[in-house]
Amino acid sequence: MNEQYLSNTIKLFEYYKTLGEKTIDQLKEENLFWQYNENSNSIAIIVKHLWGNMLSRWTNFLTTDGEKEWRKRDEEFENNFTSKNELLEKWNEGWQCLLSTLKNLSVNDLDKTVYIRNQGHLVTDAINRQLAHYASHIGQIIFIGKMIKNNEWQTLSIPKGSSAKFNQEKFAQPKHNEHFTDETLQKNKS
């Protein structure tokens, strides 16, 4: 069960990473810095926050508090990225830190306690906390991307009006076990 938990969780993080990348890929550089108003975040700001959070939470995950002394969280909400390339470098750095940490965990680590701001979490709870946090921000990135692209948006899910066809294709296959992200992740690798 615990090995399956780890592999499934890694797949979920990779899935959300892919959704974010498929959104960013659809946008022009200037779109990444667009804000609905001064109180809202641009995609660049959300990426900067994810990067800062990921480095803080996943660096020395098992041995140090997830809120590192060197983290400057408030600065994550100030945009100082100058290009899409810089944004993507930080994006990849954060995800690399997270994914390499998860891939190096063992089943024996899952029952250990880690701390975030001195609050103890079982490793599984800390992982779940970050999965929910990152999924919410990826949802924001997708929503902003859809607003910007409007009718030119390329859906990341089942296109409108295609549910019946999609379900027909799925139910035409024999019952089998696979993680729901396997198709999406496989398409992204090819």
Q: Sketch out the chain's domains with CATH numbers.
A: 2-157 (1.20.120.450)
Q: What is the pTM of this model?
A: 0.92
Opening angle at CA 91, ends 88 and 93, nearest 5: 110
Q: How confident is the model at residue 25 (pLDDT cuts 50, 70, 90)?
A: very high
Q: Are 24 and 32 in contact (CB under 8 A)?
A: yes
pLDDT of 104 over the 70 cut: yes
| pLDDT, mean of residues 26-32 | 97
Task: Kindly tell me if the per-residue pLDDT of 186 is higher than 80.
Answer: no
Binned at pLDDT 50, 70 and 90, residue 179 comes out as: confident
Q: Which two tokens stand for residue 99?
A: 């994914």
C-alpha torsion angle, residues 182, 184, 189, 190 (rounded to 10): 110
Helical H segments across 42-83, by residue range: 43-58
Contact 111, 70 (CB under 8 A): no
**What pLDDT score was predicted for residue 190?**
58
Give mean pLDDT, residues 130-140. 98
Could you identify the residue written with the tokens 């690399």?
A: 96
Alpha-carbon distance of 29 to 82, in angstroms, equals: 10
**Average of pLDDT values for 78-93?**
96
Query: What's the rounded Cα separation, in Å, for the pair 52 and 73?
Result: 7
- Checking if the pLDDT of 47 tops 80, the result is yes
**What is the C-alpha R_g of the chain?**
18
